[in-house]
Amino acid sequence: MAESTGRSFLSLPRRALVRRGHGYALALLVGLSLLISYSELKSVSDDSIFLSSDSWDYLSIAQNLHHGNGYKITKGTTLVSQEPTSYRTPGYPAFILAFMKVFGEEKAVTATILYQHFLLALFPLLFYAVSLSIDRDRNAALLAAVMAFLFYPFRALASVIHPELLATFLLMTAAWLLFSYLGKNGTLRILAFSLLLAAAVMVKQNLVALGLVFVFPLPRLAGRWHCLASLGLFVLVISGWVARNYFVQGRFPVFTTNGGLNFFLANNPDVRVDSSNKGQYDGAMNDLMASGSSETAADGKLYRMGFSLARQNGPWWQLKRIAAKAVISSRDYLPPVRNEIFFLLLPFALAAERRRLLLGSLLLFQAVYGVAAHMPAFSLAGLHFANSLDVTAVHVIGALALLLLVGRHDFKAGCLLLLYVLTQILGLVYIPIDREAVIADSMLILAYALSPEALREVYRPGTNHRDDLSAPSGRRLRFEPMAGD
């Protein structure tokens, strides 16, 4: 299909940045983020504070590759082996290895953390761009940028050697390309989306379920050849890793070998659903391998043990377990931040007729409450934490906004909802983890930013509705209601 615009597929509309001072606001958010990162990191003298649990797996792989010892985990948490492994996907170890090559092994951890904080500083720009590609409301885009800046879990992830922050950055960039393609068409956009989505999966294997977008809804929204080409590129990247695992492990297909342990833990009634006692079972993989099983054989045994437990537990137990996992997935995983009142009411104030008065009142309330409730240090980092975007508000308002937007047959909101569900779905099969919930909540932050417009539609039906979300010609503009609706 022909390009509908002469601009580069990576260009952000110039008007979007400078109108109403948004460019200055975004520059301020980026600068503040960098200043907070500097204040947090300048006094760190021991980089071991950046390492926890799975960090050792990724670091060990990078170190072994750096020394020419192959793709191995010789110092890990749930797996230790002198043989080539398929336990972790290669994206994040390669990320760490790049810094080892440039700065040396001793400084690699610090360099990785510094770069993650640089990516963190770009999050307001990225969320602004993604929001603008979903809806042309620049005020909603600026709200998305501010919320991304205020969401403390992003900052927490930037300070640990874990793949979630990098995966979120890649996934959100892929989402920007996808929504831009749905609005403007373009072969390069859809191919770049496919490549970045595959990269996100290779960094964080739990995102592999996102490949289902090539089954639905992409075939309905994209041209046939665009869909096939993007699917082919995605499969090509993923199959390279699968082929490597076949030659190393002698089994096909093997994506990773840590699924069996997580599936066994998910179906073990002795393991609490919040994973608070799963540490005592972390040695199951190593125990099986010590008894003579290969890595893939141990993974297979753990899967069979998990299926056996699932049958013993029965369907009613499984339903209750899934419901409990859903509750865990949607819980407030940052309980020290208690800013529910402000962030629950903010979208309603922005959607109201007398928004200036309501917004001013809310800001005055938060200025007093944020300090009184959290007693922060009077520094940029302390004030940022005291006024962080509340997780509960993101879940409640984000879910409400998605339902309202999808209810009006907004096809881009439907895609955003699907991305959220696919990002969360493996947590219901295996074990929900808070770090992975942060990735899914990125979608809800975008929905939160769009909530004032959705609420205005409720306040004043038929007004303020723009046809900015149109798809390229020749494509369905919205999901059609079922027959009889």
The CA–CA distances, whole Å, from 394 to 257, 333, 334, 387, 463 equal 33, 12, 12, 14, 26
In terms of Cα–Cα distance, which of 86, 51, 260 is closest to 73? Answer: 86
| Spatial distance between the Cα atoms of 75 and 168, rounded to a whole number of angstroms | 26
- Spatial CB neighbours of 445, under 8 Å, sequence gap ≥ 6: 127, 144, 147, 148, 151, 389, 394, 398
Q: Residue 8's pLDDT is what?
A: 44
Q: Which residue, 5, 213, 38, 184, is CA-closest to 114?
A: 38
Closest CA to 1 of 228, 231, 223, 230: 223
Helix (H, G, I), strand (E, B) or coil at 480: coil
Cα distances (Å, whole numbers) of residue 438 to 150, 196, 331: 13, 19, 11
Residue 388's pLDDT is 92
Angle at 340 between CA 339 and CA 346, to 5 degrees: 95
The shares of helix, strand and coil residues in the chain, as percent rounded to the nearest 5, are 70, 0, 30
Domain boundaries, the chain: 14-337+388-459
Q: For the chain, give the number of residues.
A: 485
First-last CA distance in the chain? 34
Q: What is residue 482's predicted lDDT score, i.e. its pLDDT?
A: 32
Tokens representing residue 128 in the block = 């602004």
The per-residue pLDDT for 167 is 97
Residue carrying the six token digits 């931040």 = 337
pLDDT for 13: 45
pLDDT of res. 14: 45
pLDDT per residue as tens, the chain (485 positions): 334 444 443 444 444 444 658 889 999 999 999 999 999 999 888 888 999 888 999 999 999 999 999 999 999 888 898 999 999 999 999 999 999 999 999 999 999 999 999 999 999 999 999 999 998 888 999 999 999 999 999 999 999 999 999 999 999 999 999 999 987 778 899 999 999 999 999 999 999 999 999 998 888 888 889 999 999 999 999 999 999 999 988 877 678 998 899 899 989 999 888 877 877 888 888 899 989 889 999 999 999 999 999 999 999 999 999 898 888 888 888 878 889 999 999 999 999 888 888 889 999 998 888 878 778 777 888 888 888 999 999 999 999 999 988 887 678 888 999 999 999 888 888 887 888 889 999 999 999 999 998 888 776 665 544 434 334 434 433 333 333 33
pLDDT in tens, 117-176: 999 999 999 999 999 999 888 899 999 999 999 999 999 999 999 999 999 999 999 999
Residue-wise DSSP of 378-411? SSHHHHHHHTPPPHHHHHHHHHHHHHHHHHTT-H
Q: Where are the alpha helices (DSSP H) in 222-294?
A: 224-249, 259-267, 284-290
Joined together, the tokens standing for residue 67 give 């020394």
